[in-house]
């Protein structure tokens, strides 16, 4: 486990957009366990919550809604102490198919959320979820203060990164101009049980358990540093505890300890599942990211963040969940 500070918010009101998703469901479970009241606002596009056993849990309210529907969003919001804004269009195939929708939801939804919060005096912290994609195709040990790079503006591949970068900058603008207490986290390849969206680990495990080919883009030499969900959530919870100190700040959250090529990841998952699956190399849609691994020095210093899950232990736990639950294909 990570060595985040052993302190949590309790008895607070927390509002999560996109809370039915993979990360949102894990955060919801933790927040409810601390005695907080949690409202999820989500259109149900990706639904990890249905596998969680949290339906009807004490303190949980789930509202069906879209972040582009500002009146509905404002009505559901109430007066929370903390807001976690996770709602977004993600996944390469998703934003290739719907680039306009991606821009509208990721930037427009954030704009709606922040404008609703501008006059909420009881708000202690807004946590926006950005992405490691803002560092572009070559992100080797990147720090929060390093320049961002979104690649060719005419390449559809970068629509997600640009929408997220613009959203993060908007959060800073609200902090600078209105004093809105905003903080951003930049997830680096988070994975784990309950991942129902399009991610390399979830896709590989799902296919390996069925003996289907594992599709690796390019030649599989691309490098990623994967972060287990529990380590990631430790850091997010610490942001809430340290709300007054993290305002106007962004954090890289990942685990740089075990960078791995995508081919090696596929081979590990085949071995751990005992699968007979083959590896199938396929073209990547647009430019691929060649290397993605963060520096987490700021998070280690300010959040006491030290990821504790090894890649093999995290993969085993994720495989066990897929065995037990047998979820629908990630999308």
In a domain, 249, yes or no: yes
| Domain around 123 | 13-190+228-255+291-307
Query: pTM of this prediction?
Result: 0.96
Q: What is the mean pLDDT of residues 222-241?
A: 98
Q: What is the mean pLDDT of residues 310-314?
A: 98
In a domain, 172, yes or no: yes
CATH of the domain at 97: 3.40.50.720
pLDDT digits (tens, 9 = 90+) for 134-157: 999 999 999 999 999 888 888 888
Q: What is the pLDDT of residue 69?
A: 98
In a domain, 7, yes or no: no
Reply yes or no on whether 160 is catalytic. Answer: yes
Q: Which of 41, 82, 95, 160 is catalytic?
A: 160
How many domains, the chain? 1
pLDDT digits (tens, 9 = 90+) for 243-284: 999 999 999 999 999 999 999 999 999 999 999 999 999 987
In a domain, 250, yes or no: yes
Confidence check: pLDDT of 5 > 70:
no
In a domain, 302, yes or no: yes
pLDDT digits (tens, 9 = 90+) for 233-251: 999 999 999 999 999 999 9
| Rg (the chain; Cα; Å) | 19
Q: What is the pLDDT of residue 300?
A: 97
In a domain, 251, yes or no: yes
For residue 329, how many other CB atoms are within 10 A of its CB? 12
In a domain, 299, yes or no: yes
In a domain, 38, yes or no: yes
């Amino acid at each position: 486990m990570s060595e985040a500070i052993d302190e949590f918010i309790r008895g607070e009101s927390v509002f999560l957009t996109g809370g039915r998703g993979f990360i949102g469901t894990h955060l919801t479970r933790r927040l409810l366990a601390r005695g907080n009241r949690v409202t999820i606002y989500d259109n149900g596009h990706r639904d990890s919550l249905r596998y969680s056993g949290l339906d009807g849990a004490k303190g949980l309210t789930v509202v069906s809604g879209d972040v582009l529907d500002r009146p509905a969003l404002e009505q559901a919001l109430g007066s929370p102490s903390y807001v976690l804004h996770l709602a977004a269009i993600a996944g390469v195939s998703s934003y290739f198919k719907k680039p306009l929708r991606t821009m509208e939801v990721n930037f427009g939804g954030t704009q709606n959320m922040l404008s609703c919060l501008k006059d909420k005096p009881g708000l202690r912290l807004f946590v926006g979820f950005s992405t490691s994609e803002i560092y572009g195709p070559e992100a080797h040990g990147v720090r929060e203060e390093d320049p961002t790079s979104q690649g060719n503006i005419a390449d559809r591949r970068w629509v997600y990164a640009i929408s997220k970068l613009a959203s993060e900058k908007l959060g800073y603008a609200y902090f600078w101009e209105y004093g809105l207490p905003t903080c951003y986290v930049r997830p680096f390849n988070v994975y784990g049980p309950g991942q129902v969206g399009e991610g390399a680990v979830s896709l590989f495990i799902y296919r390996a358990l069925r003996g289907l080919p594992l599709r690796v883009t390019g030649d599989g030499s691309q490098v990623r540093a994967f972060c287990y969900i529990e380590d990631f959530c430790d850091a997010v919870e610490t942001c809430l505890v340290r709300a007054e100190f993290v305002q106007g700040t962004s954090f890289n959250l990942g685990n740089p300890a075990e960078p791995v090529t995508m081919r090696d990841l596929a081979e590990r998952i085949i071995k751990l599942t005992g699968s007979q699956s083959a590896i199938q190399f396929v073209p990547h849609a647009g430019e691929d990211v060649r290397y993605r691994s963060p520096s987490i020095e700021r998070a280690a210093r300010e959040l006491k963040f030290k990821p504790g899950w090894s890649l093999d232990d995290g993969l085993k736990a994720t495989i066990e969940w897929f065995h037990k639950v047998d979820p629908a294909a990630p999308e």
